[in-house]
Structure 1
Amino acid sequence: MGAASLSANAGSLISSTEYLDYQLPEKIQKICTERDNCPDIEVKYLKSNHSWIDNTVNARIDALVVNSKPSESGARVVKTPDDVKEALDEFVASQFAEVPADSVFVYSLMITPEYLGHVNDLELFEINSYVFTGGAHGMPYSEYLIFDQQTKKPIQLADMLQPNKKSRFNALAYSAYKEWVKTVDEDVANYEKSWPFTLSDNVTLTDQGIDIRYQHYSIGPYAYGMPVLSIPYSQLQGIIKPQFLPARLSNKYDS
């Protein structure tokens, strides 16, 4: 993904991260130290000079923590900070309930936010996570977040589209999907039978256009990673609202 273009006031956001202060329960620490296979927990929170952005990003990180292992009862909701510690305690304890004592594998949970840059009044972030609970591989995850400095609200794909333009955006994304498929398979039609196109709303802005991120297994097998479909701004004029175009293009669009 190309770095987002930065305007003169981009420096108004100062972004860093800080680690969650989490210690393994004493009983777990004793067992895993003896076995030399302690679970690996690394959770970071956003720490910037905009608390309203921090609150939204970090709430999403907490939600990823408490749902780091699938539950038959559905998604868990974070109500207090204790819910996060409790979920982590359950996560690390599960290794010793589910993995043989002589296993060299350890459960891992890593979550970190990243500042991607700035387009107009929009601040762009990405949350990356990785969960490993045994098996052939772990499960990475990536989620984009966009914040409007003027309204102090998060922005979704639906907010970016002009009225009645979703079908046109979908068509552009589908074209980008077919171009991506050509990089991994010679027969697009046959590939699509196994991995059909779906429109993801996991999007961000770059200096070139809109990137659409897909998770593992969404439009391809695990080996193909987390594909990103890119739609250039030159194709998006008249489809997304002018305020979501870089200044050089929105001014041209308005004229």
Structure 2
Amino acid sequence: MTLTACAKREPAGAAALASQMETMEWRAPDCEPADDCTSVTVDREVFSDRPALNEAVRLQLLEQLQGNGETTVAADTSLAQVAQAFIEDAGKVADISSARWQMTGDAKALARRGNLLTVQITSYVYSGGAHGMPVTRWLNWDLSENRRVVLEDVIKSGAEGKFWSLAQAAHQQWLETQNAQQDFRENWPFARSEDFRFTDKGLVLRYGVYTLGPYSMGEVELLIPREQLVEVVREDF
């Protein structure tokens, strides 16, 4: 394993939020050349004096590296343990498969709006087959209250139905941009997502591969325009 770090700090005028980048790498032992070896690489932004935030990011990384981002993992599991288990699993099938297994994870601050910080956590796991599995999650964190912000926190009480109606309308608009035929619409219906973030344009919902379309379409984002949020999102957001 190798570890590197570089300092990062918010621009002048913003509330202090210092951080550093860490890179951790693991490779299968006694394997040459390196390009043909099973590997695990994790790049992670570590925030100074924010242990709760760092732990939330670590747990999300663990979940994604071990599955689809929805698998519960033991709090005491380490990234090194996950990496070693992955490398060992690859070694068990080395005699029957020449595919180079690969696992990557990345966690970095994506955006900040006042005290609301959005960390983007991405992962990619390939263990043979036609393609690997990419997963992206957005972790929203209230820097003043030092806690995770979930979608339920930002929607006004009693406005849930209206919110999802707006989301469904955004989905219909997306289908139009894709020139989706009727069979596609029937096979890939609208679904709810808890993965969100705010932008200057509005609120964005993110969907993983295979949720709103086939793998070839990648991960999908739906935008609920800012002007439509007045009735459904709490004023402080």
Q: Shorter-chain TM-score category?
A: 0.7 to 0.9
Question: Distance in 1 between the 2:13 and 2:207 partners?
Answer: 31
Considering fraction of residues, name the structure with more helix.
1
Residue equivalent to 1:166: 160
- Please tell me whether residue 147 in structure 1 is matched to residue 170 in structure 2: no
Alignment-mate amino acid for residue 56 of structure 1: A
Alignment-mate amino acid for residue 194 of structure 1: N
Q: Secondary structure at the match of 1:172?
A: helix
Q: CA deviation at 1:45?
A: 2.4
In the alignment, structure 2 segments of 5+ residues that lack a partner are 1-9
RMSD over equivalenced CA pairs, Å: 2.5
Q: Secondary structure at the match of 1:182?
A: helix
The within-5 A match list for 1:97-246 is 97-100=92-95, 103=98, 105-187=99-181, 189-244=182-237
Question: Distance in 1 between the 2:175 and 2:95 partners?
Answer: 40
Which one has more relative contact order, counting CA pairs under 8 Å at least 6 apart? 1
Tell me if structure 2 keeps the 8 A contact 1:185–1:191. no
Alignment-mate amino acid for residue 10 of structure 1: A
* Cα deviation 1:172-215 (Å, max 9, x = unaligned): 1111111111222343x432210010110100111211111100
Residue equivalent to 1:88: 83
- The TM-score with structure 1 as length reference comes to 0.80
Residue equivalent to 2:75: 78
- The TM-score with structure 2 as length reference comes to 0.85
Sequence identity (%): 25
Alpha carbons of structure 1 residues 10 and 50: separation in structure 2 relative to 1, 3 Å? farther
* Cα deviation 1:16-42 (Å, max 9, x = unaligned): 32023x544xxx412x32796211210
Tell me if structure 1 keeps the 8 A contact 2:39–2:101. yes
Residue equivalent to 1:39: 38
In the alignment, structure 1 segments of 5+ residues that lack a partner are 1-5, 245-255
Tell me if structure 1 keeps the 8 A contact 2:68–2:135. no
Tell me if structure 2 keeps the 8 A contact 1:212–1:230. yes
Q: Secondary structure at the match of 1:220?
A: coil
